[in-house]
Amino acid sequence: MRTSRSDFIALFLFLTFTFLLLSNAYVGRIFAQGDESFLKIEPIGHVLAEINKNYVEEPDLDKVVEGALVGMMNRLDKHSAYISALDYRQLQDDTQGEFDGIGVTIKLDDDQNIVIMQPLEGSPAAKAGVQQGDLIYKIDGTTTTGMSLADAANRIKGPRGTTVHLTLVRRHNGDQQAEIVELDIKRDKVPLFSISEARMLDKGIAYLRIRDFKTTTAKETADKIHDLEKQGMKALVLDLRWNPGGLLTASKEACELFLPKNKLVTYTKGRKAGTGSPTENMKLFTEREPVIPENLPIAVLVSDSTASSAEIVTGALQYWSRAIIIGEKTYGKGSVQTIIPLQRPEGSALRLTTALYYTPAEVTIDNQGIKPDVEVPMDKKEQAELLNQMYESFKDDLSKLNQQNHGSVTGNAPAEGLIDDKPLQKAVEILTENAVFQNLLAKYHKDPRETQVAATGETSDESRAEGLEALVEQ
């Protein structure tokens, strides 16, 4: 049986150490302030002591600690959070653009069975013969009955070069008899793609939708743009709707595909100088020439779900008159989060808001968003129906991923209940109106002072001057 006093001391010291990790030089400050800072966290120790002494059952101290960390981070802002070891591994996979596994997406069917949603093209699962709709009956001999999706995913994933054994139940169309399929699948690196759809529409209009921004996004986008150029691209629609963002540096790399060298993409400002935050007063400029001609017409589609890094790209292309922004006002996530790994709990981390980012218009759009040049609203219900329509058009045939149903603008026959993608329609209409992009800009592009408005608390001339001064100093 564990000793209550020793457990309490260890836990108290751990929580104290966690507090020290929250900012650089905190150790020095805490001693400089005498007992004041220790008094601030003293109630945590008292609460833990009471839990350890009087709780009806012997408490799981690991869970208590994680609960305390979750609560601390949740009290800061809606974007700061404690990240468990499992979630941190998933986050690393997402941002790096690849993971070790077999390359399947899974879901629960109506009977709570775990079913293959998609084997990713070219993945170990696809090569081994896994098919869409296969029911996963066992993973390495363990039945999936009652298993959660997260648990199943963790069992299927694993280090590259290792093998997972899947027992699948496969039903063929019109055949009531189920087939049992046993497969040994060797895990490998599986790419996670940022591009959701890339295709040519009528009259030389190319369409490209970016799902999120990770380390591989700029290269993926450049490759797709080169393919579209070969197909006769005369103008481009860049779709950033439903894009929650991602890596700050990835937004700069994406802007380099479209903007000339040495253009400001964004800059950040922390609480105050000297805190040592990795995002403190960071300035991101384009460092190379664009991959497409500077006079090629571009329209960017945005929605109220366009956020974070997607807003940085939107703001930069709008400010530098490189694109006409079409759709709705964006989400308004103008803060920057830094991932801080923790030594304990082992493998966990903090997502801590460390700065606000500013557009080249010298404003932060946090909780404010960016207004489009051309407003084309779609309510939540219409957006959900459109997304479902797009998914239904390729879910049974992955070869149709780049032929999704956007309604009449993609040549799909009118039908009852068909949703037309109005923002995409408007973009195609504008881009085919005049072949000279400068003429389109003169007609549709608004002054960024109207579309990129400072968030509350950042509206004064003094604030704007501070932003310019920060740029000049370095």
Range scoring the smallest mean pLDDT among 57-71, 111-125, 127-141, 268-282: 268-282
Residue 390 reports pLDDT greater than 70: yes
Cα(1)–Cα(11) distance, rounded to whole angstroms? Answer: 16
| Residue appearing with tokens 């068909």 | 418
pLDDT digit string, tens, across residues 339-356: 889 888 888 888 888 889
| Residue appearing with tokens 């001693």 | 31
Domain over 195-473 is classified CATH 3.90.226.10:
yes
Alpha helices in 137-216 (DSSP H): 149-156
Strands in 294-431 per DSSP E: 298-302, 324-327, 335-341, 349-358, 374-375
3-state helix, strand, coil in the chain (%, to 5): 35, 20, 40
**How confident is the model at residue 184, as a pLDDT?**
94
Range scoring the smallest mean pLDDT among 172-176, 238-242, 294-298: 172-176
> Across residues 28-53, what is the average pLDDT?
70
> Under CATH, which number does the domain 99-191 receive?
2.30.42.10
Cα(199)–Cα(217) distance, rounded to whole angstroms? Answer: 17
Instruction: Kindly report, as residue ranges, where domains of CATH 3.90.226.10 are found in the chain.
Output: 195-473
Q: Which residue(s) pair with 186 in the sheet?
A: 163
**How confident is the model at residue 410, as a pLDDT?**
95
Nearest to 184 by CA among 127, 115, 144, 131: 127
The H-or-E segment that residue 52 falls in is helix 36-54
pLDDT digit string, tens, across residues 308-333: 999 999 999 999 999 999 999 999 99
Angle CA 356–253–342, to nearest 5? 55
**How confident is the model at residue 280, as a pLDDT?**
60
Instruction: Kindly report, as residue ranges, where domains of CATH 2.30.42.10 are found in the chain.
Output: 99-191
Nearest to 456 by CA among 372, 363, 370, 319: 363
DSSP letter string, 166-177: EEEEEE-TT--S
Higher pLDDT, 207 or 462: 207
Residue 216 reports pLDDT greater than 80: yes
Cα(73)–Cα(80) distance, rounded to whole angstroms? Answer: 6
**How confident is the model at residue 27, as a pLDDT?**
47
Give the sign of the dihedral formed by CA 317, CA 318, CA 321, CA 324.
positive
* CB neighbour list of residue 176: distance below 8 Å, 6 or more residues apart: none
What are the b/e assignments for 147-161, b being 16+ CB within 10 Å? beeeebbebbbeeee
- Name the band, by pLDDT with cuts 50, 70 and 90, for residue 337: confident
- Name the band, by pLDDT with cuts 50, 70 and 90, for residue 459: very low
Residue 174 reports pLDDT greater than 50: yes
> Across residues 265-284, what is the average pLDDT?
74
Angle CA 302–308–309, to nearest 5? 85
